[in-house]
Amino acid sequence: MTSSTTFQPVLERIAEEVERTPRRGRPADYIPALAACDPRRFGMAVADLDGTVCGVGDWRQPFSAQSLTKVFTLALDLAREGDALWEHVGREPSGNPFNSLVQLEYENGIPRNPFINAGALVVTDRLHTRTGDASGELLSFLRTESGNPDLSFDPEVAASESAHGDRNAALGHFMASYGNIDNPVPTLLEQYFRQCSIAASCADLALATRFLARHGIRADGTRLLTRSQAKQINAIMLTCGTYDAAGDFAYRVGLPGKSGVGGGIIAVVPGRCTLCVWSPGLDERGNSVAGVAALDRFTTLTGLSVF
């Protein structure tokens, strides 16, 4: 098996190309705590199945994970309740912005997929019912899988999201009116905003994602997901992980991926390695401009994709 250190020259070449890119997008401005990020920051890490990790740029700089956490919350809940989850959230691309209310009305409070905000709220709600502390369960998992016990919530980001969280509150209450939310909506929102506020680096997140490249096996060798469940999450990442740009991402990158408005993207090469890239400048669909370009170059230069 090729060691991740052999990817170092590829990463360095990508970093040089990104540095020459003039347009990097704009940071998320609807969350004030994220708006101040420099769009020219860039980091990228690759983790092998055995936990060897290499990187370039700001690959050890913590950033706001935001929607990247939705992947891990989904895995933790799916491991507990299995296919019963899919009675409450769908598996189809939405074709609408990640915070849209439109489809919920037509589809009786069942969100299209776990990665739009409505779907992530349902998954967080169900994990909270099963654990009593969804965000705490998530943080513990990320600390263990990344090997970084210092990972934590960012209270400034959580407070900022809460202060500007009217749309998420509307989604929660709307789904609750259809009986698709178990917990009090204010409790759910607190859990969700804490979840999204976790700060982690590219190295942390590449390492934490390895269970999806290892077909459901955690860092300590225990099984979190069945091989089939790991396949399911990778498939949903490919079709739904980059908001309403998933088709373009699959076309350019050819890997299961999940983006967040903090500028991070995680990606999986099943059976081989995992990646995380971070650059805060976003395109109009909420995906990192430099991040998508970097992953595009990685799969082009290495020939590694699911296609």
Active-site annotation holds for 70: yes
Cα 112 to Cα 129: distance, rounded to the nearest angstrom: 21
96 marked as part of a ligand binding site: no
Catalytic residue among 18, 122, 185, 261: 261
CB atoms within 10 A of CB 307: 7
Active-site annotation holds for 160: no
287 marked as part of a ligand binding site: no
Contact (CB, 8 A) for 88 and 122: yes
Contact (CB, 8 A) for 69 and 298: no
168 marked as part of a ligand binding site: yes
192 marked as part of a ligand binding site: yes
Query: Of 92, 99, 90, which is closest to residue 118 (Cα–Cα)?
Result: 99
Active-site annotation holds for 258: no
161 marked as part of a ligand binding site: yes
Catalytic residue among 70, 157, 201, 277: 70
Catalytic residue among 100, 157, 185, 243: 243
Catalytic residue among 4, 64, 67, 146: 67
- Residue count (the chain): 307
Eight-class DSSP state of 15: H
CB atoms within 10 A of CB 36: 9
Catalytic residue among 4, 146, 192, 201: 192
Q: What is the largest CA-CA distance in the chain?
A: 53
Task: Say how many CA atoms lie within 13 Å of 232 toward its Cβ.
Answer: 18
Binding residues: 67, 117, 161, 168, 192, 243, 261
Binding residues for substrate: 67, 117, 161, 168, 192, 243, 261
Which residue numbers are catalytic?
67, 70, 192, 243, 261
